[in-house]
Amino acid sequence: MFVASFRRRTYLTLLVSLIALALAMTACGTGATTSPNSGSSANTSVGMSGGLQVVKITEVIAANGGKDQYSFSPATLSVKAGDMVNFINQTDEGHTLMSTPAGGIADGNMISKNETQTVRFLQTGSFTVSSAEHPEATLAVTVGSAAGALAPLTQVKIMEIVASNGGKDQYTFEPASITVNNDTLVFMNQTDEPHTLMGNVDGGLADGTIVSKNEVQIIHFSKDGTYTISSKEHPDAKLTVVVK
């Protein structure tokens, strides 16, 4: 009887231990499943490009002669004053970005077909960014306060010297060489035609960026290096940029 009783107590002890072990393993498994999600970013729908957030302009082509639909993806965005965002136009036409109320961005940024353009948010507050050509496409942006004063951006002008007596006009970058420490440069096109910027460093900037007539456009460099930037339309116009 003593042996039988001892065996029963042993079996009960073993059973309790197994149940406790099973509960502990279940708890550990649950933690392993939820931990990655708890550490993920709140802006999971916002992509990244060159260290910047990305907003895509997309198009849904209508069937049977209907009206195509244009939209921003994502449709909402949270940034801080001074932050820059890459807008990628994946539609079949250009879009001119507008801000309501005014001042959220520099109005009039034209993003051509298949172009990537960097936009800087200037003021705190809530803004609606829309396409002037397709005002139904809207992006709700909340701009929070910056940690300090906004740093000014370095500027480069695209200049034109009009030739006399039917000669060839000359196009130049001014200055012709420059060093930047914040990976960002502002191009101001003061000529009478657009210029498509091309670079010699693979992946350093988005080749094919078009700076339209009288447009001011921000260019973001995704990696350090020495760049030779030229105008595709006027390759004699060259700019050397050292990005640190």
Same domain (yes/no): 206, 166:
yes
pTM of the model: 0.70
**Total of domains in the chain:** 3
> Left if phi > 0, otherwise alpha if psi is -120 to 50, otherwise beta: which for 156?
beta
Instruction: Give residue for tokens 């000529």.
Output: 191
pLDDT tens digits for 1-35?
444 444 445 444 544 454 454 444 444 444 333 33
Neighbours of 42 (CB within 10 A): 7
List pLDDT tens digits, range 105-127: 887 788 988 888 899 998 999 99
Residue 149 lies in a domain: no
Is 59 found in the same domain as 135? Answer: yes
Task: Provide the CATH number for the domain around residue 218.
Answer: 2.60.40.420
Q: Residue 134's domain spans which residues?
A: 47-144
Q: Which residue has the tokens 């705190």?
A: 124
- Among 119, 144, 169, the domain-final residue is 144
Indicate whether 125 and 109 sit together in one domain.
yes
Instruction: Specify whether 11 is located in the same domain as 51.
Output: no
Helix (H, G, I), strand (E, B) or coil at 126: strand
Asked if 189 and 196 count as a contact pair (C-beta separation under 8 A), the reply is no
Which band of pLDDT confidence, cut at 50, 70 and 90, is reported for residue 203?
Answer: low
